Structure 1
Amino acid sequence: MDSLTQVVLGSAVGYAVLGNKIGRKAVLWGAALGTLPDLDVFLPYGGPVESFTYHRGFSHSFFIHLLISPLIVWLILKIHTGMQTYKMRWFWLVFLCLSTHALLDSFTVYGTQLMWPFTEHPFALSNMFIIDPLYTLPLLLGVVCTFLPKVSSSTAYKINSIALGLSSLYLCSSLILKVIIDDKAQTALSAQNIAVDQYISTPAPLTTLLWRFVAMSDGQYYEGYASVFDKPSEVTLHAYNTTPALLNDIKNEWGVKRLQWFTKGFYSVHEQQNNVVLSDLRMGMECQYVFNFKVGKINSNGVSVASFEKFSQRPSFNDIDKIWDRIWQPSNSLIKNTCDN
């Protein structure tokens, strides 16, 4: 999730655990700890593929959080002397702020290695977009109330707890909506006799009322959109070609295998200016994928391995109104038939 959401989630969790004992210090420590796991982006992993696939690795592991929490508590108690009475609560504050950060990240589509080092599997429920105001705003309101001078500490504690509950209910509702959307999408695919090898769905930007899905099918992939208000017959989808044969000469390269694994098979391969480009189909939309890698170079002898340079074609939020229109009107399609080069 985005940095603001992780900060206010950490603050809200911190205050819920220890706010009635130490006040706003719990909010500030929660904010710091809610940010801590994402500092792994500053680590020199050694290359674009490494940075892409090792992010949300050890720093988001429940086991690492469990091991490091006593050390962080020790450091905190060195700063706040006289709080030994709350040592166990400090432990829960630290552990829960770290682990809820990782858990929330696992609700997005990227992939979070919650069980590292026992497995590198990138857990991804893909029921939340990375930015969702309806999840963040209640948490932000609850945290703001802890700093208002006219709001008593007991009232702020109640408001913060209610805010946490509301955001958690919204999170649960997205899981229910995902089941509904998946049923609509699968019905639409079956109605068109499309044999699906792999399928994934994820919310559209800023909402859980509209969902994007990708279905992999024997040399093609389908991108579709479904609103919670759509009938299965109103689900929009379009087929696109991919050329996995371009990887044949470099299929044993570690970077290629790593990207295939991390994307869980949801990737496309195409030629672009004599480069073989592998695009992660899970994040973005057709022609505007967030993660693309130049994995090969086409030459007279075939395809040679390239630098794995990463480049982005992030969707523009200038078109956010189109997403809103698509929620209510299936005729307002977001599908792109061709890309502008």
Structure 2
Amino acid sequence: MDSLTQIALGSAVSVAVMGRHTAVWKAALWGAVAGTLPDLDAFVDHGDAMLNMTRHRAESHALFFLTLAAPPLAWAAARLDRRAAPSMNRTPSGDSDPRSGGTWGRWTLALWLALITHPLLDAMTVYGTQLLQPFTDHPYGVGSVFIIDPAYTVPLIVGVIAALRQKNARGLRWNAAGLVLSTLYLVWGVVAQQHVERIARDSLRQNGIASQGLLVTPAPFNTVLWRLVAVTPTQYFEGHYSLLDARPTLRWTTHERGAALIAAHGSEPAVARMAAFTHGFYSLSETDGRLFVTDLRMGQEPAYTFRFNLGSAAARANGGHPPTLEGLRPDLGTALPWLWQRLLGHDTPPPWRVTQGDRAG
């Protein structure tokens, strides 16, 4: 997810665990730090653009390593907390004075949860998060929420702000409510995804498409409009379905995957890496003697975020052309209005789409 969401989630989780055992702003600040730390791997250069993509959300997002990082981070938080307020005072009601500081154990639980909820939330997106490093580099991705979704983020922000402003039990209840609402939204996303997947599989059967894999993931910023990609050995099919569509009809557009190129170059390290990372949702193409590999999961025909230029055959053979990112993005001036209209159930084709064939069912 985006950085703002991870900061809000880390803060909300930390505030919920620490409660009145420390000042709300301290819990929120340390939670924001823990929620940000895993994404610092984005500043690590692994040598080429494709490695930077596939090694993001790796060790820094592993549950094992984050569990090891929680106790020393909590020790620092608890130590600074005690230095700021060395005595354990009580309020007239008998509660711990929020200025008295939390214990190392409570800080450990708070920051451990703030750390591990980061990759667990990332795994709900389609990108791919290597949760179980160093035991496996399998990239997990449920794909039931878009990387930026205000419906998930806003309740967290509102809850944290309320807790910071009110600094009492009512503020903590607002924070807890934000966590509950955002979690329920994730559950909703999974339920909606399963519903759309059933409709998509029925449509594929009606059209006689024997797909090897089916991707069902939300369109940007919502969980009402869903993008669908089905792959066969030679082609891929793209479609959209809105929960507001009047009837469960899908219109599939047909595109070539580059089967001959996959047969010829599929064993090359860069291509094999992309095939594994995308779980087979990729295509190969060739332009002016240069080979391109495209991640079909993120973007929309013909504009994809992760499209890599692997260079010419000679350059690849000599190891002289590391993959370079040459992604394409649609014009937002036309993309956003279409997104809104299609979300509302209007069967309008994307204005930037290049269609090689259509199937409806």
TM-score exceeds 0.5: yes
Tell me if the contact between 1:6 and 1:35 (Cα under 8 Å) persists in the aligned partners.
Answer: yes
Q: CA deviation at 1:315?
A: 3.4
Q: CA deviation at 1:215?
A: 0.3
Q: Are 1:120 and 2:107 matched, yes or no?
A: no
Q: CA deviation at 1:231?
A: 6.0
5 Å-filtered alignment, 1:1-341, equals 1-22=1-22, 23-81=24-82, 82=86, 86-148=103-165, 151-230=166-245, 233-297=248-312, 306-318=321-333, 319-334=335-350, 336-338=353-355
CA distance in 2, matches of 1:254, 1:234: 39
Amino acid at match of 1:4: L
Residues 171 and 302 (structure 1 numbering): CA distance in 2 closer, same or farther, change over 3 Å? closer
Tell me if the contact between 1:296 and 1:303 (Cα under 8 Å) persists in the aligned partners.
Answer: no
CA distance in 1, matches of 2:149, 2:251: 23
Amino acid at match of 1:8: A
Residues 46 and 307 (structure 1 numbering): CA distance in 2 closer, same or farther, change over 3 Å? closer
Q: Normalized against structure 2, the TM-score is what?
A: 0.88
CA distance in 1, matches of 2:274, 2:220: 24
Tell me if the contact between 1:57 and 1:120 (Cα under 8 Å) persists in the aligned partners.
Answer: yes
Deviations 1:5-29 (A, max 9, x none): 1111111111001032112100011
Tell me if the contact between 2:127 and 2:141 (Cα under 8 Å) persists in the aligned partners.
Answer: yes
CA distance in 2, matches of 1:331, 1:228: 12
Q: CA deviation at 1:46?
A: 2.0
Amino acid at match of 2:177: I
Amino acid at match of 1:41: A
Q: How many residues align?
A: 336
Q: Secondary structure at the match of 1:130?
A: coil
Tell me if the contact between 2:281 and 2:296 (Cα under 8 Å) persists in the aligned partners.
Answer: yes
CA distance in 1, matches of 2:155, 2:56: 28
Residues 57 and 314 (structure 1 numbering): CA distance in 2 closer, same or farther, change over 3 Å? same
Amino acid at match of 1:35: T
Query: Which 10-residue stretch deviates more, 228-237 or 209-218?
Result: 228-237
CA distance in 2, matches of 1:32, 1:271: 44
Amino acid at match of 2:348: N
Residues 137 and 111 (structure 1 numbering): CA distance in 2 closer, same or farther, change over 3 Å? same
CA distance in 2, matches of 1:139, 1:293: 36
CA distance in 2, matches of 1:66, 1:101: 12
Tell me if the contact between 1:142 and 1:163 (Cα under 8 Å) persists in the aligned partners.
Answer: yes
Residues 143 and 321 (structure 1 numbering): CA distance in 2 closer, same or farther, change over 3 Å? same
Residues 256 and 214 (structure 1 numbering): CA distance in 2 closer, same or farther, change over 3 Å? same
Q: CA deviation at 1:325?
A: 0.8
Q: Secondary structure at the match of 2:286?
A: strand
Q: CA deviation at 1:251?
A: 3.6
CA distance in 1, matches of 2:349, 2:171: 44
Tell me if the contact between 2:302 and 2:354 (Cα under 8 Å) persists in the aligned partners.
Answer: no
Extract unaligned runs of 5+ from structure 2: 87-99, 357-361
Q: CA deviation at 1:332?
A: 1.2
Q: Secondary structure at the match of 1:238?
A: strand
Amino acid at match of 1:320: L
CA distance in 1, matches of 2:208, 2:347: 22
Q: Normalized against structure 1, the TM-score is what?
A: 0.92
CA distance in 2, matches of 1:85, 1:207: 38
Tell me if the contact between 1:184 and 1:231 (Cα under 8 Å) persists in the aligned partners.
Answer: no
Amino acid at match of 1:59: S
Q: CA deviation at 1:211?
A: 0.3
Q: CA deviation at 1:232?
A: 6.1
Q: Secondary structure at the match of 2:216?
A: strand
User: Once the two structures are aligned, what percentage of the paired residues are identical?
Assistant: 37
Deviations 1:96-120 (A, max 9, x none): 0010010000000000011110111
Deviations 1:243-275 (A, max 9, x none): 132245544332221111101110011112331
Q: CA deviation at 1:48?
A: 1.6
Deviations 1:277-318 (A, max 9, x none): 10000000011100011124157x998864211122133433
Amino acid at match of 2:110: L
Extract unaligned runs of 5+ from structure 1: none
CA distance in 1, matches of 2:316, 2:18: 62
CA distance in 2, matches of 1:121, 1:227: 31
Give runs of ≥4 in structure 1 deviating > 6 Å. 301-305
Q: CA deviation at 1:141?
A: 0.5
Tell me if the contact between 1:19 and 1:27 (Cα under 8 Å) persists in the aligned partners.
Answer: no
Amino acid at match of 1:80: D
Deviations 1:139-162 (A, max 9, x none): 1101111232xx242111000001
